[in-house]
Structure 1
């Protein structure tokens, strides 16, 4: 009797030892699946695809993992054929055409994205549980339908862009020289590069700065034929002389205190500063200061406009020479991507800035688009990590189609 009880107790013990890890593993996979699914809904696709790879047997894992991969930044270059293999899902998953539309939008293939998003709206009509997805599809279609067709956006040709980040592109007036920043030598630290356009395109860029800086205070300004550079160590703007292989500071630019200022614009008369600065309550805000003609003093900075301000981040201000349009970057809700380029037009009658307008497609994408600067009447340079980029952020040019 004692032996039998011992065997039974031993058997029970063994079964518990074997069963508990299996139960724990199953519970763990369910939790990971729930987390991955939540990442998809939050459009955190890189996190979703990384989570899905730890799950093996739960339903829809391969299907949702493929969707997440094609919408992620890390795996976005995979062939769409990987999703089309799940064509049978269109009879089971009412979101099949929604995801396909977003995948094509990710690749800036607008006509097919529109076709699939409209197909989703047609098939999901009356499905109340899909209302949030329907609203999102309708929202994206507004951007697609309003896409500007008179302009084309192309990456600046090789060898400017690299697998690292390229930012703050400034074209000289004759557009045969380009100044820009890149962290290709030390990731996260930006050196200043100079390149010239030869008979066969841009020449290999050369480093002309003495020490790298971080992106938060990276400022290259081109003010009426003069280059200016913001020195993070002294919080001071300097006029710079550009040589063939280097540059040097000529003189300080007399301004207000620029401590903790991030990205700066100065007008061609050097009498107006517009800049972004982190605030306690409202994230990054855009301020301005004017130089008084009577005394030469700079006025205390003020918020440029309550219309432009939000509870989110406004950055990278750029004012057109006629003072009528202010471009800036924001991560506010209602954009096409993570950060979008917006503009506000000045109402000369009311003497106020108008409501911000999203610059739309093709300037904005579902990725990061920022630091928009005009270089001529029909050309602009900005940074983006859209699918056409070679790695991290690249410099892109907006041109009027011929």
Structure 2
């Protein structure tokens, strides 16, 4: 994005310039520079540089001209020439050079320049915040890959940016020339002054149609940009140069800054345009955004109290239509650099653009949670899909379908700035959830209306809920912590499980199963089902009882001790793999081993019988020649303890 007052709110420092052989040409270029005719100045400076003329001041101005127009790769070239010539420069040039180096991937050299900036500057905070995260690229990488991006289809060869939703339309800013008589260009960027345009959004994909001008009643002969609307469509806030009712305001340096204005929708058009009371001729306010309840207005400004070059502020909108005192969002959001283009979602998130939070170069888009007490959560870079080494800004999203738009001057665009559409495929931050289904151990029957309790790692009760009619429960939790979930229900034994939540696991499933507190059995029932015994464990291809099997057999032993008249028929089954004869022999040996274990441990032999059935009683279709999964084969490998007498 080429720099403009609308976007950057930058107050330029102008530099004196001396020369000898090329004095006349350079002097002429200086005048153009001072009047913001940067494009012509660049041409002149580069011509004299090509002829071998070198000057620290000229390299400064060349670097600045590209830097202020956000062509950071070209700015890096000329700042490099400056530092090759001298290191006796204002500390700000160390910062600017580092910023440009980072945009072209020269991070090590950028950090060197930032360290020098910190040493030389009396306000090193900007440099410190820029290098505070050594692993910032890893964090950006982790947040990348979340978007599908395409051209929005509304772009021109000029500057198009800053969109908002309004009555099924996309309203955006453009400097395109649509044929109006007297259309004027800004000498700074050689672009037409911006106006508001609209485009109908169609279908579930919110595809923009052909753009047309928004409203003549809002248009002035200067810039209009960044319009937003209340939900009822009756109020609009927008950015405009300091110009109202034919009068142009200027600051002490005779510069026309920008202000936020309000308009009302009356008789099918916009009217009653007024500037907001916290505006001033001496600083800029721009890029308004509304909270979900429309009681707070967010905006960018360089007003007194700004921490850096421009900050994001908020101001309350009172019920009588008046406004409170603007409040700086503070150091979590704002830095010593530029923060601009806020946007607030109905998920209580604020998106904004910054050139100083750790990014990929130029302006990057960031997001932070707005907490219930008005403070802000960790600021996160939204990732390399939306962000690039160039300027990326003006993020807008429909949180229901996760479709949105952003603006960028990245490579291979159609114009000066372009609007891109995106689909967000996964959220940037987990809303951690622990959930599961409650079932009965033996039958796998869904058990609704179970009491569910959540405990922390110190076994402190945090929350309680009930499983629904489908046996489902859910708890909102925090990541990277350990929790225990307890399930309670009448006629069932209380059960509890513990789980540790990994940072990457937004949703963790923890299913719980109940055992019946009283297992009622009759002749013909499988006693093993009372204890969830599906099979007795043996070594592969052997019939020797393993320790795991002994534990289950001890349960059968105990019940038979309690009921001395109970008799059991032990049945062992295999899957279909292997020959039928071999499987029958193996299962018979295993059934006999099970019987012998019970006899050795005190059960009278006349209370026990045993038989191996091999693969003769499969519970599914996994017979010879049928391709089945391991789980399907496992269903056939089972042990049964059928009650034959009580």
Structure 1 length-normalised TM? 0.59
Of residues 224, 228, 238 in structure 2, which corresponds to 1:230?
A: 238
- 1: CA distance, partners of 2:420 / 2:202: 19
- 2: CA distance, partners of 1:399 / 1:241: 35
Q: Residues 83-112 of structure 1, C-alpha deviation per residue, up to 9 Å, x if partnerless?
A: xxxxxxxxxxxxxxxx9xx98x8xxxxxxx
- Residue matched to 2:194: 190
- 1: CA distance, partners of 2:155 / 2:110: 41
- Residue matched to 1:219: 226
- Residue matched to 2:314: 288
Are 1:163 and 2:157 an aligned pair?
A: yes
The answer on whether the counterparts of 1:330 and 1:342 sit within 8 Å (CA) in structure 2 is: yes
Aligned pairs (5 A) from 1:109-188: 142=138, 145-157=141-153, 160-172=154-166, 174=168, 177-185=169-177, 186=185, 187-188=191-192
- 1: CA distance, partners of 2:52 / 2:79: 10
SS in 1 for 2:175: strand
- Residue matched to 1:299: 324
Q: Residues 99-137 of structure 1, C-alpha deviation per residue, up to 9 Å, x if partnerless?
A: 9xx98x8xxxxxxxxxxx9xxx9xxxxxx999969xx9x
SS in 1 for 2:269: strand
Q: Any unmatched runs of 5+ in structure 2? A: 1-47, 81-99, 114-130, 178-184, 186-190, 245-259, 427-646
Q: Any unmatched runs of 5+ in structure 1? A: 1-24, 53-72, 74-98, 106-116, 122-127
Distance 1:333 1:150, change over 3 A: closer
More deviation, 190-199/302-311: 190-199
- 1: CA distance, partners of 2:380 / 2:309: 20
Distance 1:230 1:140, change over 3 A: closer
- Residue matched to 2:642: none
The answer on whether the counterparts of 1:191 and 1:213 sit within 8 Å (CA) in structure 2 is: no
The answer on whether the counterparts of 1:229 and 1:239 sit within 8 Å (CA) in structure 2 is: no
Distance 1:154 1:213, change over 3 A: farther
- 1: CA distance, partners of 2:293 / 2:353: 24
Are 1:257 and 2:278 an aligned pair?
A: yes
- Displacement of 1:287 in angstroms is 1.2
The answer on whether the counterparts of 2:160 and 2:418 sit within 8 Å (CA) in structure 1 is: yes
- 2: CA distance, partners of 1:303 / 1:285: 7
Are 1:384 and 2:384 an aligned pair?
A: no
Of residues 309, 314, 325 in structure 1, which corresponds to 2:334?
A: 309
Q: Residues 177-201 of structure 1, C-alpha deviation per residue, up to 9 Å, x if partnerless?
A: 32222101142411222223579x6
Q: Greater relative contact order (Cα 8 A, min sep 6): structure 1 or 2?
A: 1
The answer on whether the counterparts of 1:147 and 1:362 sit within 8 Å (CA) in structure 2 is: no
- Residue matched to 1:319: 344
- Displacement of 1:279 in angstroms is 3.5
Q: CA RMSD in A?
A: 4.5
- 2: CA distance, partners of 1:28 / 1:254: 50
- Displacement of 1:347 in angstroms is 3.5
- 2: CA distance, partners of 1:284 / 1:163: 28
How many residues are paired up?
294
- 2: CA distance, partners of 1:300 / 1:130: 39
The answer on whether the counterparts of 1:239 and 1:253 sit within 8 Å (CA) in structure 2 is: no
- Displacement of 1:275 in angstroms is 1.2
Of residues 360, 367, 370 in structure 1, which corresponds to 2:383?
A: 360
SS in 1 for 2:353: strand
The answer on whether the counterparts of 2:335 and 2:357 sit within 8 Å (CA) in structure 1 is: no
- 2: CA distance, partners of 1:30 / 1:189: 35
Aligned pairs (5 A) from 1:72-111: none
- 2: CA distance, partners of 1:361 / 1:387: 14
- Displacement of 1:376 in angstroms is 4.0
Are 1:267 and 2:291 an aligned pair?
A: yes
Distance 1:296 1:279, change over 3 A: closer
Of residues 45, 48, 51 in structure 1, which corresponds to 2:73?
A: 45
Q: Residues 9-33 of structure 1, C-alpha deviation per residue, up to 9 Å, x if partnerless?
A: xxxxxxxxxxxxxxxx9x975959x
Larger Rg computed on CA atoms: 2
Q: Residues 146-201 of structure 1, C-alpha deviation per residue, up to 9 Å, x if partnerless?
A: 253232121102xx111111112223464xx32222101142411222223579x6
The answer on whether the counterparts of 1:263 and 1:316 sit within 8 Å (CA) in structure 2 is: yes
Q: Which has the higher helix share?
A: 1
- 2: CA distance, partners of 1:144 / 1:353: 19
- 2: CA distance, partners of 1:148 / 1:208: 35
SS in 2 for 1:145: helix
- Displacement of 1:240 in angstroms is 3.7
- 2: CA distance, partners of 1:256 / 1:309: 23
SS in 2 for 1:352: coil
- Residue matched to 2:211: 205
- Displacement of 1:356 in angstroms is 2.1
- Displacement of 1:326 in angstroms is 1.0
- Displacement of 1:394 in angstroms is 0.6
- 1: CA distance, partners of 2:339 / 2:279: 17
Distance 1:140 1:277, change over 3 A: closer
- Displacement of 1:238 in angstroms is 0.7
- 2: CA distance, partners of 1:313 / 1:399: 27
Distance 1:291 1:144, change over 3 A: closer
SS in 2 for 1:306: coil
The answer on whether the counterparts of 1:343 and 1:357 sit within 8 Å (CA) in structure 2 is: yes
Distance 1:145 1:354, change over 3 A: closer
